[in-house]
Chain A
Amino acid sequence: MKVLSHGADWDFELLERYDAAIGEVAGEYGLDTYPNQIEIITSEQMLDAYATGGLPVGYPHWSYGKEFIRNEQAYRRGMQGLAYEIVINSNPCIAYLMEENTMATQALVIAHACYGHNSFFKNNHVFQQWTAADAILDYLVFARRYVMKCEERHGPEAVEEVLDAAHALMSHGVDRYRRPAPLTLKAETARLAEREAHRERHFNDLWRTVPEAAAESAPASQARFPADPQENILYFVEKFSPRLEPWQRELVRIVRKLAQYFYPQAQTKVMNEGWATFWHYTILNRLHEKGLVDDGFMLEFLKSHTNVVCQPSFDSGAYGGLNPYALGFAMFTDIRRICERPDAEDREWFPELAGSDWRRSLDFAMRNFKDESFIAQYLSPRLIREFRLFAVADHRSEETLRVDSIHDDHGYRRVRRLLARQHAQELRVPDVQIVHYDRDGDRSLTVRHVRRRGRPLSDAATEVVAHLRRLWGLAVRLETWEDDVPVGDDVVCPA
């Protein structure tokens, strides 16, 4: 076959030819994707996109401005390069490519984002369960319009106050056990219009003049409310806050929906990036095999690729946590190796994988796991050795840190379990739930932090409670329990 192009320059026609070639190879490997929409943007536009977490449309808020300034500053000083691409979990799947990229980089990005991430978005069960790729763009448009309308009506400061407070509780605005109904712009707008119309229809100024009943002696229902602790604090606030105006409730809802949208991404970072990296590596190598790209292309590609999957060790200056690209790529590559060329150790650890069809096994792994379970299931002793992973225990009863386990026969399983737990979303975010709403009393709200293994909340908790108080409108109390007994450390925010 003929080489597609030489040199670093690209144009639209070349992009299309590369995309066609990459798509064909992806088809050979059986990748199932949403249709692609590739957009070329400038580095400035990339900075814009960064600020809103990659979303193409966002409502105005100062925190995005802060993000933007931070990234811009770092970029201008050369402290930070820009990502080559941003990809959005939507249908069609939108990928942003920067115009500064060379042809090789564009090809890498197309393979990585438009086929790797895209197929992951479409097929991974977490994404399938939690997000509606068809509706997200519409919803973002709705959110932006709504926020701006509120700003017009109620002033930017009032809107900002609600958004600030809701943002502080974003990590606790996620339904983890129920799939949310899909959102669409039309349905949302219609729902609101209907609510508004209903209110207007039933508005009667006379009610204002009716004297208020003095201290109604309602039969105090003794039942505790809510009956069970509620983990979705934002949802509870939206539904039951005694003081919020309807538009404020709607703002809380918007933030909650965004939190929900981002929830799967946080849970599948390693898998998602690993999958995309594995596929750009595999696909571009295949292009080279077919003679479609030249050696210069491959050298440049390998250089970028090596940078992406580099894992500095913990004591080097460059260390910034485990690199999800490196770990994910190594794991998917390792699964393929176990399928194709298993050794004795692999047969012992992964009897069901050894010798199986690698494409089917990989596909299964991609579809049915999230980071936590993926690591628990597939991290092999060989990788633990290669990464030289070791676990350190930090216990308050001990003077020093203790090396808990390393890459040896005794340690493999424990290191793997600890690493998996480290990726469990439930353990990354403190367990704070609403336990009581004093409906018949002072209408105060009680939230409980269930402490595990003595790990306290950070100091910011006081501010978060103050934000919650702002949303709730009446007194809020944060209590801390461990092993079913209160342990003090209450934070009270009075009415």
Chain B
Amino acid sequence: MPHLIDRRPNGRGKSAVNRERFLRRYKAQVQDAVKKMIGERRITDMERGGEVRVPKKDIAEPSFGFGRGGDREFVLPGNREFVTGDRIPRPDGGSARGNGNEGGNGDGEDEFVFSLSREEFMEIFFDDLELPNLLRTEFGRSERKKSVRAGFTKTGTPANLSVVRTLTQSLARRIALSAGLGREGEALECEFAVATAVGQADRAALLYAEIERLERRRRTLPYLEEVDLRYRNRAWRPEPIARAAMFCLMDVSASMDEDKKDLAKRFFTLLYLFLTRKYGEVDLIFIRHTDDAEEVDEDTFFHDTRTGGTVVLSALELAETIRAERYARGWNVYAAQASDGDAFGADPARSARFLRERLLPAARYYTYLELADPQSPEHVSSLWAEYERVAEATGNFAMRRATRREQIYPVFRGLFRKETQ
């Protein structure tokens, strides 16, 4: 009789571990691919999975095999016109391979292509990134609590029964209760032996009964008793949570052409995805500015178009106002600013001063991304020059420049790289 077994409920994913091994081994290639993809993608597609190509020779598993050359014969099916002695020109690239050395996996592509799931993609995307200087000091409101182990108790639900503990207790109890009986029993055995030897039958019978009684008591010691039971105990402990607020400041003035806006949006998209995926407790504040600043929701921030003049200070002031109102105490404050730096007159200097005196002391980390003109990437804007002095004077300020799409991701990574001890 055959066994019929339904294995379907066993679940798939037996190869998940092997797949993960593979990804880890070729991490460098996969990261390169991700980097390239981000440059090429539309902003709205940023969060999809993606296809990765790895050169086949990089992942080949070598073994001893035959190379080209030497003498050999091989048999093929489907002869239509050949007769013995016919000459056939050698095909190039060995596509008419006969036997034996069917190298690799047979399909003649040079690249091994596979897709990353969305999860895997995002993981690699944000690998090694972190908000710098994040402090977990805020005990916040008490809603976040964590269940932790807290020893053992004598009462509990069967699901929490600790078998090892319980059996330890049971063993200890049985040893404790039976040891005394055992000693007593041995003494009685001796007396019984003496009594029988000297012929005191009455006493022997008495002793025998007593031995019997002890033996019965020992036998009836229960294996498990209520008092042995031990249950795992858990307790709730308040968890320190790290709350953070991220201010996103984007310049949408007329000098920011479509390309630059695209770059800025890319940067903020990455920031947005990064923060929303990695940190549950992050408040995002979107501020865009021309000659005056306004707070907008994320949809408007990413998708609405608006143009005008440039006053950087307006955005900084608005950020500061909001910070003082809503995030004055108990928050880790971050800010990221993107602009082409085209500010006029006194604005750059005043902005830099405002930044240094008001915003930076209250912020954990402030990043500035300048979207330079691709025609003159070395040109230093007035804002950049002012900010540079701020960067020298303070420790929590970082600035970078970008001119092309593919620079955005490296710049982003550069700004939020995890600090290694």
A residues adjacent to B (C-beta < 8 A): 12, 15-16, 19, 23, 35-42, 44-45, 47-48, 51-52, 60-66, 68-70, 72-73, 92, 96, 99, 114, 156, 160, 164, 167-172, 311-316, 319-322, 387-397, 399-408, 410-411, 415, 418-419, 422, 427-430, 432, 449, 451-461, 463-464, 467
Contact = CB atoms under 8 A, between A and B. Distances in A.
Given A401-B88, A404-B84, A459 B67 contact: yes
A48 B101 CA distance: 27
A73 B76 contact: no
B93 interface: no
A430 B101 CA distance: 10
Contacts of B84: 403-406, 408, 410-411
B interface, how many residues as a size bin? 35 or more
A69 B87 CA distance: 42
A38 B2 contact: yes
B30 to A, nearest CB: 12
B202 interface: no
B112 interface: yes
A131 B10 CA distance: 28
A458 B67 contact: yes
A60 B18 contact: yes
A453 B70 contact: yes
B222 interface: no
Nearest to B96: A314
A176 to B, nearest CB: 15
B379 interface: no
Contacts of B115: 73
4 closest A-B pairs (Cβ-Cβ)?
A313-B78, A455-B70, A65-B22, A65-B18
B69 A12 contact: no
A38 B3 contact: yes
Contacts of A47: 12, 15
A260 to B, nearest CB: 16
Contact of B71 (A51, A169, A395, A427): A395
A66 B59 contact: yes
Contact of B15 (A19, A48, A408): A48
Contacts of A316: 78
A394 B17 CA distance: 44
A460 B56 CA distance: 13
B100 A460 contact: no
A390 B2 CA distance: 45
B87 A400 contact: yes
Interface in B35-86: 59-80, 82-86
A60 B77 contact: no
B103 interface: yes
Given A61-B21, A62-B18, A428-B100, A460 B65 contact: yes
Contacts of A461: 62, 64
Interface in B1-39: 2-8, 10, 12-15, 17-25
A78 to B, nearest CB: 14
A454 B71 contact: yes
Interface of B: 2-8, 10, 12-15, 17-25, 59-80, 82-90, 96, 98-103, 105-106, 112-115
Nearest to A40: B6
Contact of A69 (B2, B22, B80, B89): B22
B21 A65 contact: yes
B75 A390 contact: yes
A60 B21 contact: yes
Chain A binding surface SS class: mixed
Contacts of A390: 75-76, 79, 82
A64 B75 contact: no
28 contacts: A12-B6, A40-B5, A40-B6, A45-B8, A45-B14, A48-B12, A62-B25, A65-B15, A65-B22, A66-B112, A69-B19, A167-B61, A171-B63, A321-B102, A390-B82, A391-B75, A392-B98, A395-B72, A399-B90, A400-B87, A400-B90, A411-B84, A429-B65, A453-B72, A454-B69, A455-B67, A456-B69, A457-B64
B62 A460 contact: yes
Nearest to A13: B4
Contacts of A406: 79, 82-84
A226 B8 CA distance: 51
A159 to B, nearest CB: 11
A37 B63 contact: no
B91 to A, nearest CB: 8
Contacts of B99: 321, 422, 428
B64 A36 contact: no
B77 A311 contact: yes
A400 B5 CA distance: 57
Nearest to A467: B62
Contacts of B98: 392, 394, 422
Given A99-B8, A172-B64, A392-B88, A61 B72 contact: no
A419 to B, nearest CB: 4
Contacts of B113: 73
Most buried by A among B14, B25, B90: B14
A47 B16 CA distance: 11
B66 A38 contact: no
B64 A429 contact: yes
A428 B66 CA distance: 8
Given A61-B18, A391-B73, A406-B83, A37 B61 contact: no
Contacts of A429: 64-65
Contacts of A320: 106
A65 B64 contact: no
Given A38-B4, A403-B84, A430 B66 contact: yes
Given A41-B7, A400-B88, A410-B84, A70 B105 contact: yes
A408 B61 CA distance: 42
Contact of A430 (B5, B24, B60, B64): B64
A69 B106 CA distance: 16
Nearest to A63: B61
A43 B186 CA distance: 69
Given A168-B61, A457-B64, A418 B87 contact: no
A410 B84 CA distance: 9
A411 B84 CA distance: 8
A38 B5 contact: yes
Contact of B2 (A36, A40, A169, A455): A36
Given A92-B3, A311-B77, A402 B85 contact: yes
A396 B20 contact: no
B16 to A, nearest CB: 9
Contacts of A315: 78
Contacts of B86: 402-403
A98 B263 CA distance: 50
A200 B20 CA distance: 36
A403 B2 contact: no
Nearest to B76: A314
Nearest to B5: A39
A458 B103 contact: yes
Contact of B4 (A12, A35, A70, A403): A12
Contacts of A16: 2, 4
A65 B72 contact: no
A167 B64 CA distance: 11
A313 to B, nearest CB: 2
Given A15-B4, A315-B78, 6 more contacts: A16-B2, A65-B15, A66-B112, A72-B114, A114-B2, A400-B90
A15 B76 CA distance: 40
B78 A170 contact: no
Contacts of A172: 64
A168 B60 CA distance: 10
A460 B20 CA distance: 26
A396 B71 contact: yes
Contacts of B23: 65
